């Protein structure tokens, strides 16, 4: 009877893990809590630790980082008490993932380094490969692409040596993401197609859907919008067939990105709002913040400043709650543009300084570029204020100063984009430079 209960608790944990992966957080949380209660009754401390870690994973997936960290801390203490080095290393790695999402890159690297050392001591080569991949994710996130590719290459070699085709496919996909960010679109597609073939051979439908979505993102970045929509639509259909709520929200949002990139803002807004509804349904704070930032960006481009400000402020509140301010520079620079539109000059100055500070703090190159592009647009708006002889209090700088600052910000954005090989953003910077020249 006792052994039966122990197996039941373990089974509940496996079910909880599956539900996390498909974005069914409510069900996953209920299953993990049931497993925790059952493991407690059977005095199975290891299963208790696993259940606690899974509860933390649900909170992490929802963007409840503080609660996730608390759960991970409890699980870590249990594993250490049991002398379970493998469990300890896994939880330390999970904490590293959380810090990566919070842009605490130095702390993330410390955690991954600690986990990697333990896995090497234990001889767990598959876990070593995953740790190296996680370290690559940190470097990719902060824009250190050469170092990211080095780590991914080392991880890929180990996965292949172990015959771990699924792990290899994921790493090849991550390498493709780096090449997409660098503007090496042909290489990105080559990596994605290689990853796709492996997932197809393995029959991993979720992996297939993710990679098809990645291929769509590459086509969107290179301006092949029809092909991007075809890929994103295919990915969305697969996620719906899997009933993967997280994947559905991601694919719907990606379709929104394509429409935003082609300037079809009404359609982009419709898809972003659909993605937002799903994120709110599953109580995903992090995803909700991302969708609100996307909505604010589209509303800004449409000149709906009051609505854009409302969405951006809600996003800001969520970023502060979760501590995961990945998009804070973009969001704050959107608020800067909204302040200019309202002739709120103290707000303009405040948000300008806050956006630059957030970009420097986060150290995410893509966000630094987006921030400066938006700040250049804000100063172009000020130039237009002078050109159109608007009424009310004048801006805190002259027309000539606004032109100079707009030019400086777009120059900085272009230099950052060129340094990291972000060809898509270089193109956007050139378009802004042409607009500035026409004023």
Q: So what's the pLDDT on residue 245?
A: 85
Q: How far is 270 from 43, CA to CA, in rounded Å? A: 51
From CA 305, how far away is CA 54, in angstroms rounded? Answer: 41
Q: What are phi and psi of 324, to 5 degrees?
A: -100, 75
Answer positive or negative: Cα dihedral of 122, 128, 130, 134.
positive
Length of the chain: 439
DSSP 266: H
Residue 144 phi/psi, 5° resolution?
Answer: -90, 75
pLDDT at 114: 96
What pLDDT, in 10s, does the model give residues 329-339? 888 898 899 89
Residue with tokens 């969405």: 311
Encoding tokens for residue 307? 């609505």
Neighbours of 390 (CB within 10 A): 13
Residues 151 and 112: their CA atoms lie apart, in Å, by 12
Closest of 36, 93, 101, 15 to residue 64, by C-alpha: 101
pLDDT at 325: 61
pLDDT at 124: 87
Using CA atoms, how far residue 410 sits from 416, 432, 438, in Å, is: 10, 7, 15
Q: Which two tokens stand for residue 58?
A: 């649900």
Q: What six digits make up the tokens of 233?
A: 């639509």
Would you say 25 and 62 are in contact if contact means Cβ atoms under 8 Å apart?
yes
- Spell out the alpha helix ranges (H) of 63-144: 65-82, 85-101, 105-122, 125-141
What pLDDT shows up at residue 3?
A: 64
Helix (H) or strand (E) holding 368: helix 365-387
Locate the domains of the chain by residue range. 327-439
How far CA 79 is from CA of 49, 343, 413, in Å, comes to: 7, 57, 46
Residues of the chain falling short of pLDDT 70: 1-3, 322-326, 362-363, 389
């Amino acid at each position: 009877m006792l052994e039966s209960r122990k197996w039941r608790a373990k089974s509940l944990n496996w079910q909880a893990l599956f539900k996390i992966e498909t974005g069914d957080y409510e069900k996953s949380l209920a299953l993990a809590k049931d497993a925790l209660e059952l493991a407690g009754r059977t005095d199975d401390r290891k299963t208790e630790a696993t259940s606690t870690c899974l509860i933390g994973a649900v909170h992490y997936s929802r963007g409840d980082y503080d609660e996730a960290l608390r759960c991970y801390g409890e699980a870590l203490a249990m594993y250490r008490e049991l002398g379970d080095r493998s469990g300890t290393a896994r939880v330390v790695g999970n904490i590293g993932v959380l810090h990566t999402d919070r842009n605490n890159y130095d702390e993330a690297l410390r955690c991954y380094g600690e986990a990697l050392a333990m896995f090497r001591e234990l001889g767990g080569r598959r876990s070593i490969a995953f740790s190296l991949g996680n370290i690559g994710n940190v470097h990719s996130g902060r824009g250190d692409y050469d170092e990211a590719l080095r780590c991914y290459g080392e991880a890929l070699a180990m996965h292949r040596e172990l015959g771990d085709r699924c792990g290899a496919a994921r790493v090849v996909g991550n390498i493709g993401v780096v090449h997409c960010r660098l503007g090496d679109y042909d290489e990105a597609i080559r990596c994605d197609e290689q990853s796709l073939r492996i997932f197809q051979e393995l029959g991993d439908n979720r992996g297939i859907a993710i990679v098809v979505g990645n291929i769509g993102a590459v086509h969107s970045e290179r301006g092949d919008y029809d092909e991007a929509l075809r890929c994103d639509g295919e990915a969305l259909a697969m996620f719906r067939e899997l009933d993967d709520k997280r994947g559905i929200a991601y694919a719907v949002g990606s379709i929104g990105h394509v429409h935003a990139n082609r300037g079809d803002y009404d359609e982009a807004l419709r898809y972003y709002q659909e993605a937002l509804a799903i994120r709110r349904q599953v109580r995903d704070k992090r995803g909700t913040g991302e969708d609100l930032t996307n909505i604010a960006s589209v509303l800004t481009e449409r000149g709906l400043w009051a609505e854009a400000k409302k969405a951006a402020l809600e996003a800001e509140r969520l970023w502060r709650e979760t501590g995961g301010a990945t998009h804070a520079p973009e969001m704050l620079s959107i608020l800067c543009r909204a302040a200019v539109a309202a002739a709120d000059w103290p707000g303009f100055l405040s948000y300008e300084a806050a956006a630059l500070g957030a970009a420097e703090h986060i150290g995410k190159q893509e966000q630094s570029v987006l921030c400066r592009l938006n700040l250049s647009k804000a100063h172009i708006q000020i130039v237009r204020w002078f050109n159109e002889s608007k009424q009310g209090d004048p801006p805190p700088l002259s027309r000539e100063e606004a032109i100079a600052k707009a030019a400086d910000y777009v120059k900085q954005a272009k230099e950052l984009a060129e340094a990291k090989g972000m060809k898509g953003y270089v193109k956007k910077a050139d378009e802004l430079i042409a607009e500035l020249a026409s004023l």
